[in-house]
Amino acid sequence: MRRLIFFMFLCACGVEGEISDPGLMEEEDTSSTGQAVTCNPRMNRFPVGDSHNIGYDSASCGTGTCRISCPDQNANSDWNGAAGHHGIDVFAYHRAPLVAAADGRVVAVGTVSSTSGLRVRIRDACGWEYYYGHMDQAVVSVGQNVSSGQLIGYMGKTGAASTHLHFNVSPDGRYSSDINPFNLLKATSPTACAAPPVNPDPPVTPPTGCGILGSGAQLGVNQSVTSCDGRFTLAMQGDGNLVLYQANVGAIWASWTNGSGANVAAMQGDGNFVLYRNGTPVWHTSTHGRPGAYLAVQGDGNVVIYQGSTPRWSTGTCCR
């Protein structure tokens, strides 16, 4: 079995986004008006409306997943126009909300391609275009005016091996004449944290029964939650570590908090799942602001925090 390495960031949201191949060649959209840009990019919102990781890198993605946080603690640029990677990959969870990075007009909603999947382009008033690739769904149409921060669709993996957003900023839509968008992404990263949830789910009564840790419930030392099929168990251990076990396999995920003194794992009413040491938080999923969220230990091996039917955090251990 692949050796698992776990990272713990006290301010991280804990969601893990699947990695992509950083050398993937994206499909170029070539249409343009031939007009020069008139001012600097007007981008003032981060293109993902939730916690994220900017750029593939071995330090935060080397385990096979990218640890995401808000604002991004591991931001780096994987832009390399000379090698054909025209843009930066931004990681989050499947169907994370994607929002307009600037006021502008939708100039393209592409059909699904084998390299870039479903993609959307937005042009700002200065002539810069913002390209969103690998989307799972677009909720805008060509010619539509959008406001900065407006929902335009959801992150996916169409045309890619894994879930991420390929984000490109180019003058007049000239894809291969793009700039490295790292400074724009880094500067706007905090706006994803301050923004209210985009298109939140309506209140839904959480399920009960096996595999569920409901809102307001908690695990003490040596207590656990087990999936309905009995194959997976999330255990609050006496050494302070929260560990997910697979029957006949062993540990497949951990919070890596052994030795911390954590003695309670609480699924709080505000949606945050927190490990406490005698009332002091030592680890959390940063899913606060989502009242009524609950934790599910699933039969596919994944542990997921849901708000209604929408996943907000996972251990990234599907599918076994």
Domain residue limits, the chain: 12-194, 212-313
User: Can you list the alpha helix ranges (DSSP code H) found in 164-221?
Assistant: 182-194
From CA 27, how far away is CA 49, in angstroms rounded?
24
From CA 189, how far away is CA 236, in angstroms rounded?
33
Residue (of 158, 151, 181, 213) closest to 26 by Cα position: 158
Cβ atoms of residues 297 and 227 within 8 Å: yes
pLDDT score of 161: 83
The hierarchical CATH code for the domain 212-313 is 2.90.10.10
From CA 18, how far away is CA 314, in angstroms rounded?
11
271-280: which pairs have CB atoms within 8 A and are 24 or more residues apart?
Answer: 271/215, 271/305, 271/307, 271/312, 273/305, 273/313, 275/236, 275/240, 275/242, 277/240
Kindly report whether the global pTM for this prediction surpasses the value 0.75: no
pLDDT score of 31: 54
Residue 136 to residues 80, 133, 153, 204, 285, Cα–Cα distance (Å): 25, 9, 7, 24, 24
pLDDT score of 206: 66
pLDDT score of 227: 93
Cβ atoms of residues 233 and 249 within 8 Å: no
Cβ atoms of residues 85 and 36 within 8 Å: no
Residue (of 108, 308, 277, 57) closest to 206 by Cα position: 308
pLDDT score of 83: 67
Is there a cis peptide before residue 11, judged by omega within 30 degrees of 0?
no
**Strand runs (DSSP E) across 206-317, as ranges?**
212-213, 218-220, 223-226, 232-236, 242-246, 250-254, 264-267, 273-277, 280-284, 294-297, 303-307, 310-314
SS3 of 61, please?
helix
Cβ atoms of residues 275 and 257 within 8 Å: yes
Architecture field, domain 12-194: Distorted Sandwich (2.70)
Q: Within its chain, how far is the Cα of 165 from the centroid?
A: 9
pLDDT score of 24: 40
Residue 166, exposed/middle/buried by CB under 10 A (0-12, 13-18, 19+)?
buried
DSSP state of 18: E
DSSP states of 135-178:
EEEE---TT-EE-TT-EEEEE--TTSSS--EEEEEEETT-GGG-
SS3 of 188, please?
helix
Residue (of 44, 45, 159, 152) closest to 107 by Cα position: 152
What is the edge-to-edge ordering of all strands in the sheet holding 303-307? 212-213, 294-297, 303-307, 310-314
Fold agreement between 12-194 and 212-313: no
Cβ atoms of residues 100 and 42 within 8 Å: no
DSSP β-bridge partners for residue 238: none
Write out the chain's pLDDT in tens, 320 residues: 333 323 333 333 333 444 444 334 444 554 555 567 889 899 999 999 988 999 887 766 765 567 788 888 888 888 886 667 889 999 988 888 999 999 999 999 987 777 788 999 999 999 999 999 999 999 999 999 999 999 999 999 898 888 899 999 999 778 888 889 999 999 999 999 865 555 544 555 667 788 999 988 999 999 999 999 999 999 999 999 999 999 999 999 999 998 999 999 999 888 889 899 888 888 888 887 788 899 999 999 999 999 888 888 888 888 77
With a CB cutoff of 8 Å and minimum separation 6, the contacts of 88 are 54, 55, 77, 78, 79, 166, 167, 180, 181, 182, 185
